[in-house]
């Protein structure tokens, strides 16, 4: 059985780690999902369609051809192909430029981590979130009234959560706030002239 | 005078001589003119506008003469007014500029044309520019006009740049100036004259003034500080008579000021222990320093590099410091009731917040709240006696008046006496005015009430307004729990106080006795009465409205935001706020009013100088009498001195700097890349130059040679011109097509579409769900959708703190969100850039070997599909204009239940959010659908 065939025979719930990754400091930080070593092409396999290659900037500066070889081996397998890069050198501008380009050209998704722990967290997250829907990053309707108001008023630049709560407590409801004059809004703590004008304009000027 | 020599078009006696000198200097050679605050910066700019606008006597005539003397040939050209662009003016200043020009008798056809959001379409602007004249334009519109060749640098004679202090390397103004200087033929033949009256901002960073001069493309720096010899002579030859009056804070105010200072130190101690990033010297924490310096800003500046990595608790502390500093101000500016209300709402807020403000738990906060309450009311309880084991407590309204109010009244009385004497001695007729200058319109309102209605009524009205709002809760508790016993004694007393105050103010409807008996029944009787009175009319919204309506009516009767008391034959008292004055309007205002007395209730350096200038130019024998009212040992006194000191300091440093400063080396054509770009014929980056399609030169298909040629075209969404990236891309030789994009911010080729996010944008758009929608749209329309995460080069290059990571996977962490985003959009590429300059390199790499972007197609993609389209211009309108209320549309989409479709319908039926909020349930159901309509109705009316 070739390394490539391995990909389809994996168990769910386990983060598979290539034997080539033995000794990588990242592994010691993977604690939230079970991991198992396996002989395979990518460095990590999170699911049947998701895999990751790992690269440290330091290593890349020493062996610039390494990652090209790895990408070539990977061919076009997997739908989501992460290039997980540990940013461990200070002077990283050129390396990152090359990696950005490389990732775009080879359909890889570049993820930067600044510590081994952070890199490990990404791997864990990809594993643990397998099958999860996108609701936490989608527009959601706030169920709590105060949050709805904060959401609504917060869209006006410069108006933060505190401001929106202050406004609400001053005017008691949104309708009264929308009817308020600039002078009245100015009475609210934290609402300076610029912010007041901006909010008043947003509420009172016509949509178009 | 020498002034008329400088500019013959301004009637003599309207501007001081030193401005004439400034005019001649700046006219001779381009440069940055730095004037002290209030010394007429905008008037000088106006003088240039006047001069260039007039083709008979102004600039053109001078140029024509010099041309005639240099060359023998006669000048047959028809005289066209020069095209001069004024950049950098703020909203109110544009009007102020027109006001000044009008006061000089400028004919209407020579006044500047305003091109702001309301202006016409792109094509119309091209015609306008062709006619020549002076144009005041917002930079965001003008940069688009330059890039699309609606405005050609060759047709522009010069630029006047207001607020020169803002022209940093990455500003849009710098971008404009670079294109102007680079493309103007012959090189550098247009003039650039820049103005500023904020010297302290020029010296606030390393070599900042040199960088600004370079960005402005000027070599000369002209300095006109207040201590300049000629200015001193001119202004001090005929000085106003000044009386300074120092008012002590009331004992309670003093204690509160100390308490706030103590809270500040507590916050800073806490901050220092919570982060190692802060270097703060404890000696800087004397009360005096707390009061005077913007310590919170200094602290924010130290932390801003790592702002996105700070713990929320730490951020809260910084926020608290900001709040506390404004409390110093509020303490002396507000009346006691407003202040009490203010700190109470801070407390309520903090209790509801996830990270409460720690300072509220300190003993200092306790002192602050006790003293603040003591200024408003106290509750006394007689000792229990043998007859009465539970004596009734009494609430007594104290309502301490702001000590400055009383002082103002005294001064005004004194002025009346003095005036009466003057009238008797000198036979003078005509209006005699007392000008009282205050900080803002709110203070105007308060003082107006105070001077007309007296202390008691002013404060009692506020007191009632406070009680009315405060008692809402008590009322609802007693209503539903059915008893007076459900609320605390203090709440009960406040509830009773409300009806007492209401009756005292608006007359008693019924006589009621027994107030002092401890009988519950009686109390309930009183309470019912109070409830009835409240229901009758005065809920808080309409109540405050009646008051404001009254003020408004007065204001409309006279000039804006101004108020006159007493009859016209007597001394008139005029209240005016600094916030209602823009730029140099104060000098116009003074000339208009011709006040005999000026009372500076609040201080403002610029206005004081205006008074000096007014006095120096005036022909009256009697000097204006000026009264300074200042709180002793308070924030305002210190702040005033500090402002003067800072300005003087900045000027002194600049004078030194000017001596040693190497003349800035001005590059006519920016970078090597740009030269190369110009060489290959993309004219330094203006797309539509000669109306060629954008990608013309690279698509002629002359075989392999062309394919390796560098690609330069990028379609940029106009809204991105707020950031520094377009300027940097252009500098790097890219040709930018400023257009309105529905999908993406930058389109690099027919496959590459980029959504740019700064770090704070990234966090924000994850939270709002916007990024998901954007990624979805990009993935749908482009083969290679990219999310560009652009870091700020001045901040740390790192997404999150290691201690933020925690030991477990948390759904709210940025890691989780990025992971989730990439899992749902496996085609989405993430570009990581350390700075806009890195972004340029990345873009350049990505563009190699790809076809140039088809701009027309990029514009079309995704129209009418995404919610973003709703926020943008309707098709057919010129780019770069904000004719729509983008913010309002954005907010509309955030309302519960509203989606793109219902938003469209709502916008058809209703003009503004304010109108929407007023709609009835039925109307809302009709225009938004039954479910959303109901949601909206509830949202607008729900009380917290």
3-state secondary structure B781-844: HCCEEEEEEECCCCCCCCCCCHHHHCCCCCCCCHHHHHHHHHHHCCCCEEEEECCHHHHHHHHH
pLDDT at A7 over 50: yes
pLDDT at residue B150 in the model: 85
Mean pLDDT by groups of 10 residues along chain B of 944 residues? 55 84 92 93 93 80 66 52 91 89 90 72 77 90 87 91 92 91 78 93 84 91 92 88 90 92 87 76 63 71 72 82 85 89 82 80 94 92 77 86 92 88 69 85 84 86 85 75 73 85 69 39 42 40 40 40 46 84 83 89 90 86 87 79 88 91 65 53 43 36 45 86 90 87 91 93 84 92 95 85 81 91 96 95 91 85 60 42 67 84 84 91 90 90 78
Chain B neighbors of A80, CB-CB under 8 A: 822-823, 826
Strands lying side by side in the sheet with B241-247 = B241-247, B625-631, B597-600, B433-438, B572-577, B563-565
Q: Name the phi and psi angles at B661, rounded to 5.
A: -70, 125
Q: How far apart are CA A166 and CA B528, in angstroms?
A: 30
B763 touches chain A (CB under 8 A): no
Q: How far is B617 from chain A (nearest CA, A)?
A: 33
Residues 672-691 of B with CB under 8 A from A: none
Distance (Å) from the alpha carbon of B769 to chain A's nearest alpha carbon:
4
Burial class for B738, CB neighbours closer than 10 Å (0-12, 13-18, 19+):
buried
The predicted structure's pLDDT at residue B482: 62
**Mutation to test the B interface, candidates A44, A87, A137, A168, most B Cβ within 10 Å:** A137
Backbone φ, ψ for residue B433 (5° rounding): -115, 140
User: Would the pLDDT of A106 be above 60?
Assistant: yes
How far does the CA of residue B749 sit from the closest CA of chain A (Å)?
A: 13
Report phi then psi at B625, rounded to 5.
Answer: -95, 125
For chain A, helix, strand, coil in percent to 5 are: 50, 15, 35
Q: Which of A125, A129, A160, A168 is best to mutate for the B interface (most B CBs within 10 A)?
A: A125
Which residue in B has a C-alpha nearest to residue A96's C-alpha?
Answer: B832
Secondary structure, 3-state, B861-926:
CCCCCCHHHHCCCCCCCCCCCCCCCHHHHHHHHHCCCCCHHHHHHHHHHCCCHHHHHHCCHHHHHH
Structural tokens at position A111: 């993820």
Interchain proximity A189–B819, CB inside 8 Å: no
B321: exposed, middle or buried (Cβ count in 10 Å: 0-12, 13-18, 19+): buried
Residue A125 C-alpha, separation from nearest chain B C-alpha, in angstroms: 6
The pLDDT score that the predictor gives to residue B68 is 63
Q: How many CB atoms lie within 10 A of CB B271?
A: 22
Per-residue confidence (pLDDT) for residue B875, from 0 to 100: 40
What is the rounded CA–CA span in Å between residue B66 and residue B856? 48
- How close, in Å, is residue B737 to chain A by CA atoms? 24
Residue B518: closest CA among B473, B487, B484? B484
Quick one: pLDDT at residue A142?
Answer: 67
**Which of B581, B894, B908, B915 should be substituted to probe chain A, the one whose Cβ sees the most A Cβ atoms within 10 Å?**
B894
Who contacts A87 (Cβ-Cβ below 8 Å, separation ≥6)? A57, A96, A112, A113, A114, B797
Task: Quote the CA–CA distance of B588 and B459 in Å, as a whole number.
Answer: 35
pLDDT at B703: 40
Q: For an interface test with B, give the residue of A175, A180, A198, A200 to mutate (most B CBs within 10 A).
A: A175
The reply to whether residue B352 touches residue A96, judged by beta carbons under 8 angstroms, is no
Q: Residues 915..934 of B with a Cβ closer than 8 Å to A: which?
A: 916-918
Which pLDDT score is estimated for A66?
A: 96
Q: Are A157 and B809 an interchain contact pair (Cβ–Cβ within 8 Å)?
A: no
Identify the structural domains of chain A with CATH numbers, from first to last.
6-133 (3.40.50.10130), 145-203 (1.10.150.20)
pLDDT above 90 (res A193): no
Q: Is B857 helix (H, G, I), strand (E, B) or coil?
A: helix
What is the model's pLDDT at position B538? 38
| Cβ contact, residue pair A101, B940, below 8 Å | no
pLDDT tens track for B48-76: 999 998 877 777 766 766 666 665 444 44
Global confidence as pTM: 0.78
Query: ipTM > 0.90?
Result: no
Q: How far is B261 from chain A (nearest CA, A)?
A: 19
B591 in Cβ contact with B103 (< 8 Å) = yes
Touching check for B538 and chain A: CB below 8 Å? no
Q: Do A118 and B805 touch (CB under 8 A)?
A: yes
Does residue A140 belong to the interface with chain B, where contact is any CB pair within 8 Å?
A: yes
Cis amide linkage into residue B186, ω under 30° from 0: yes
Q: What is the DSSP letter of A15?
A: E
Beta strand B83-87 with B158-161: parallel, antiparallel or unpaired?
Answer: parallel
């Amino acid at each position: 059985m070739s390394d490539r065939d391995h990909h389809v025979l994996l168990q769910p719930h386990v983060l598979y780690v290539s034997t080539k990754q033995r000794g990588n400091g990242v592994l010691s930080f993977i604690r939230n999902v079970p991991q198992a070593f396996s002989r395979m092409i990518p460095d990590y396999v999170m699911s049947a369609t998701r895999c990751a290659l790992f690269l440290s900037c330091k290593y890349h500066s020493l062996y610039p051809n390494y990652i090209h070889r790895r990408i070539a081996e990977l061919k076009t397998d997997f739908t989501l192909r992460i290039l997980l890069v540990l940013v461990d050198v200070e002077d990283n501008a050129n390396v990152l430029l090359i990696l950005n380009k490389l990732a775009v050209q080879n359909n890889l998704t570049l993820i930067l981590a600044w510590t081994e722990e952070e890199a490990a967290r990404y791997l864990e997250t990809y594993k643990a979130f397998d099958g999860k829907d996108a609701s936490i990053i989608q527009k959601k309707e706030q169920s709590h009234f105060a949050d709805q108001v904060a959401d609504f008023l917060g869209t006006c630049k410069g108006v933060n959560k505190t401001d929106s709560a202050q406004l609400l407590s001053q005017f008691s409801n949104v309708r009264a706030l929308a009817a308020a004059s600039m002078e009245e809004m100015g009475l609210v703590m934290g609402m300076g002239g610029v912010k007041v004008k901006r909010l008043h304009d947003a509420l009172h000027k016509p949509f178009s | 005078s020498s002034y008329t020599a400088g500019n013959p078009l301004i009637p003599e006696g309207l501007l001081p001589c030193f401005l004439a000198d400034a005019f001649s200097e700046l006219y001779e050679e381009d440069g940055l003119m730095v004037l002290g605050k209030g010394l007429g910066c905008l008037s000088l700019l106006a003088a240039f506008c006047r001069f260039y606008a007039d083709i008979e006597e102004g600039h053109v005539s001078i140029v024509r003469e010099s041309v005639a003397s240099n060359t023998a040939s006669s000048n047959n050209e028809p005289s066209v007014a020069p095209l001069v662009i004024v950049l950098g003016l703020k909203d109110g200043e544009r009007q102020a500029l027109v006001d000044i020009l009008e006061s000089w008798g400028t004919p209407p056809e020579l006044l500047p044309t305003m091109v702001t959001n309301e202006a016409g379409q792109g094509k119309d602007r091209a015609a306008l520019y062709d006619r020549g004249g002076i144009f005041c334009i917002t930079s965001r519109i003008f940069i688009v006009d330059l890039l699309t060749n609606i405005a050609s640098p060759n047709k522009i004679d010069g630029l006047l740049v207001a607020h020169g202090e803002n022209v940093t390397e990455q500003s849009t103004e710098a971008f404009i100036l670079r294109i102007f200087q680079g493309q103007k033929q012959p090189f550098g033949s247009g003039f650039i004259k820049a103005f500023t009256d904020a010297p302290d901002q020029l010296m606030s960073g390393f070599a900042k003034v040199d960088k600004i001069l370079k960005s402005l493309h000027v070599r000369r720096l002209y300095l006109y500080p207040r201590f300049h010899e000629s200015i001193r002579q001119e202004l001090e030859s005929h000085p106003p008579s000044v009386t300074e009056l120092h008012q002590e804070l009331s004992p309670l105010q003093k204690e509160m000021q100390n308490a706030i200072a103590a809270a500040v130190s507590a916050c800073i101690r806490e901050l220092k222990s919570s982060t190692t990033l802060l270097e703060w010297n404890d000696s800087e924490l004397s009360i005096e320093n707390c009061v005077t310096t913007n310590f919170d800003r200094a602290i924010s500046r130290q932390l801003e590099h790592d702002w996105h990595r700070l713990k929320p608790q730490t951020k809260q502390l910084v926020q608290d410091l900001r709040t506390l500093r404004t409390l110093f101000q509020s303490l002396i500016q507000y009346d006691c009731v407003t202040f009490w209300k203010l700190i109470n709402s801070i407390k309520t807020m903090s209790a509801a917040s996830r990270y409460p403000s720690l300072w509220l738990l300190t003993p200092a906060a306790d002192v602050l709240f006790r003293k603040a309450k003591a200024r408003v009311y106290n509750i006394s309880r007689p000792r229990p006696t043998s007859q009465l084991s539970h004596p009734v407590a009494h609430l007594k309204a104290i309502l301490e008046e702001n000590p400055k109010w009383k002082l103002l009244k005294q001064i005004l009385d004194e002025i009346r006496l003095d005036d009466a004497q003057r009238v008797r001695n000198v036979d003078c007729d005509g209006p005699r005015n007392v000008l009282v200058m205050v900080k803002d319109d709110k203070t105007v309102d308060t003082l107006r009430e105070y001077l007309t209605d007296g202390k008691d009524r002013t404060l009692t009205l506020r007191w009632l307004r406070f009680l009315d709002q405060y008692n809402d809760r008590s009322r609802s508790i007693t209503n539903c729990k059915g008893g007076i016993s459900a609320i605390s004694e203090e709440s009960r007393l406040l509830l009773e106080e409300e009806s007492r105050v209401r009756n005292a103010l608006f007359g008693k409807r019924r006589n009621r006795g027994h107030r002092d008996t401890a009988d519950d029944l009686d109390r309930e009787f009183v309470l019912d009465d109070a409830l009835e009175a409240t229901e009758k009319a005065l809920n808080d919204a309409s109540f405050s409205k009646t008051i404001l309506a009254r003020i408004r009516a007065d204001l409309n009767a006279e000039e804006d935001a101004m108020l006159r008391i007493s009859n016209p034959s007597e001394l008139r008292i005029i209240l005016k706020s600094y916030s209602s004055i823009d730029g140099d309007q104060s000098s116009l205002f003074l000339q208009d009013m011709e006040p005999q007395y000026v009372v500076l209730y609040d201080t403002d350096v610029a206005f004081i100088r205006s008074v000096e200038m007014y006095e120096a130019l005036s022909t009256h024998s009697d000097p204006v009498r000026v009264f300074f009212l200042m709180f002793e040992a308070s924030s305002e006194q210190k702040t005033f001195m500090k402002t003067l000191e800072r300005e003087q300091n900045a000027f002194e440093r600049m004078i030194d700097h000017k001596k040693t400063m190497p003349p800035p080396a001005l590059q006519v054509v920016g970078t090597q890349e740009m030269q190369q770009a110009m060489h290959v014929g993309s004219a330094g980056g203006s797309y539509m130059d000669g109306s060629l399609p954008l990608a013309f030169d690279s698509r002629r298909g002359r075989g392999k040679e062309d394919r390796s040629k560098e690609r330069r075209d990028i379609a940029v969404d106009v809204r991105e011109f707020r950031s520094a990236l377009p300027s940097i891309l252009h500098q790097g030789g890219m040709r930018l097509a400023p257009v309105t994009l529905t999908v993406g911010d930058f389109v690099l080729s027919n496959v590459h579409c980029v959504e740019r996010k700064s770090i704070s944008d990234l966090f924000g758009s994850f939270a709002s769900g916007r990024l998901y929608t954007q990624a979805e749209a990009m993935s749908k329309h482009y083969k290679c959708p990219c999310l560009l995460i652009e870091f700020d080069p001045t901040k740390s290059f790192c997404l999150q703190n290691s201690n933020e990571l925690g030991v477990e996977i948390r759904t709210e962490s940025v890691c989780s969100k990025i992971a989730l985003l990439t899992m749902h959009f496996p085609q989405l590429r993430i570009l990581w850039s350390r700075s806009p300059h890195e972004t340029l390199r990345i873009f350049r790499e990505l563009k190699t070997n790809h076809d140039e972007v088809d701009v027309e197609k990029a514009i079309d993609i995704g129209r009418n599909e995404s919610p973003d389209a709703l926020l943008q211009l309707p098709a057919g309108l010129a780019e770069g204009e904000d004719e729509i209320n983008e913010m309002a549309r954005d907010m509309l989409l955030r309302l519960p239940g509203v989606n793109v479709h219902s938003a469209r319908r709502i916008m058809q039926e209703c003009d503004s959010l304010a109108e929407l909020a007023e709609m009835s349930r039925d109307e809302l159901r009709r225009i938004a659908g039954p479910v959303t309509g109901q949601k909206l109705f509830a949202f607008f009316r729900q009380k917290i």
